[in-house]
Structure 1
Amino acid sequence: MTHILRVDASIKGDASVSRGLTAKIVEKLQAAAPGATVTARDLSPGVPQIDGAWLGAVFADPATLDADQQAIRAQADAYLDEVRAADVLVIGLPVYNFSVPAQLKAWLDQLARRGETFVYTEAGPEGLLKGKRAIVAMSSDGVAMGSEADFASGYLRHMLGFFGITDVEFVVADQMAFGAEAGLARAEAALAKLAA
């Protein structure tokens, strides 16, 4: 049975274009696989930044952790477990100031755990989350995907690949400030071509 992890990061709530697109993508996937299950993770309230306390909690022997460290590790493990359990990740990528939202970056930082999502080998880094598919719903007001000012899509694709997730597709509503209807039409066309 297919399991979908829907990740939203937009702070715009119901007015969010990326949220609208992630909803449509999940709907299409569920229509093709009626038994599919979905876990929704909303990052907009914020994701803890990694820091020294996080390092101490995540990489220490679990038996040595105090209550605060146990709570930090439990949150980090929850993010990781959701990704591990997913066959398909549907990720909302609203472009903020030419890049990924801070909360989405913090989520990726939480996932970047040596020995859990990647390892270093003699041949270089190797991702450990192989065999998953990611569909990214990207929205932006002014940035065109793939342009010199797009520091979001390439970064997210790279991080997913670093974790071993190389089957990555984009549904994009970009440059909405220059024509919202045209931007949405491009996204709808990509959605129509998306294999479920």
Structure 2
Amino acid sequence: MAKILALKSSVLGDYSQSSKLIDQFLATQDADVTVRDLAANPVPVLDGELVGMLRPAGELSARQQEAKILSDTLIKEVKEADLLVVGAPMYNFAIPTQLKTWFDFVARAGETFSYTETGPVGLITNTKALIVSTRGGLHKDGGSDFEVPYLKTLLGFLGISDIEVVYAEGLAMGDEMAKTQLDNAASQLANYSL
């Protein structure tokens, strides 16, 4: 059975359009699904102390040990997933902080990427990604879309190159626009093949 790891990062809870789209998609999948709601259960911000979690075990503080265990768990989840579904509402032209902190705990040298003489090489090569991007305005393929290029760069850095993006834009531009966009996104997700 296929494994899906779904990341929700909206702070809007039950009002989140990206989370609703993900839920609709997951309801149609015959798969082993893990959902991480990064707003409800945030990954800690990587700070000066936590960045030291990669030192030898005997040298770690209790907080660093907890962070290392969490990082190991998050990495295991994404490595085992056939599909990574990323809920990415656009906040101030970029991804939510909650999603950024997940990437900070997953991007680890020797675990999800390695440096070589020719540059970095991603180590997660068996996972596909599906980005569900919701936005209040219209940004796709424009100079104000820093979100999707950033996500594609990060995922590629980890070795995930098979990436599809589903957009729902203009959600703050009137009910008719929002409905059309959400219906189109739901239709694209319904037709997505794992």
Q: Same fold judged by TM-score > 0.5?
A: yes
CA distance in 1, matches of 2:181, 2:187: 10
1:51 pairs with 2:43: no
Structure 2 counterpart SS, 1:147? coil
The residue identity in structure 2 corresponding to 1:50 is: L
Partner of 1:190: 188
Match of 1:169 among 164, 172, 175: 164
Structure 1: 4+ residue segments shifted above 3 A? none
TM-score (norm 1): 0.90
**Contact 1:10–1:44 (Cα < 8 Å) also in 2:** yes
CA distance in 1, matches of 2:142, 2:186: 21
Partner of 1:158: 153
- Tell me, in whole angstroms, the C-alpha distance in 2 between the residues paired with 1:83 and 1:18: 20
Q: How does 1:45-194 map to 2 (within 5 A)?
A: 45=40, 46-57=42-53, 59-178=54-173, 179-194=177-192
- Residues of 1 paired with 2:100 and 2:167: CA distance? 19
* TM-score, length of structure 2 as denominator length: 0.91
Q: CA deviation at 1:80?
A: 1.4
**Structure 1: distance between partners of 2:165 and 2:4:** 16
Counterpart of 2:51 in 1: which secondary structure? helix
Q: CA deviation at 1:65?
A: 2.5
CA–CA distance in 2 between the matches of 1:184 and 1:136?
Answer: 14
Q: Distance in 1 between matches of 2:132 and 2:99?
A: 13
Quote the offset at 1:62 in angstroms.
2.0
CA contact (8 A) 1:25 1:90 kept: no
User: Which runs of 5 or more structure 1 residues have no equivalent in the other structure?
Assistant: 31-35
Give % identity.
40
Distance of aligned partners of 1:27 and 1:193 in 2 relative to their CA distance in 1, 3 Å threshold = same
Corresponding residue for 1:4?
4
Distance 2:57 2:78 in 1: 21
SS of the aligned residue for 1:50 comes to: coil
| Distance in 2 between residues matched to 1:3 and 1:128, nearest whole Å | 18
Q: What SS does structure 1 have at the residue aligned with 2:43? A: coil
Deviation at 1:70? 1.2
Question: Which residue of structure 1 lines up, in the alignment, with residue 26 of structure 2?
Answer: 26
8 Å Cα contact 2:28-2:190 kept in structure 1 = no
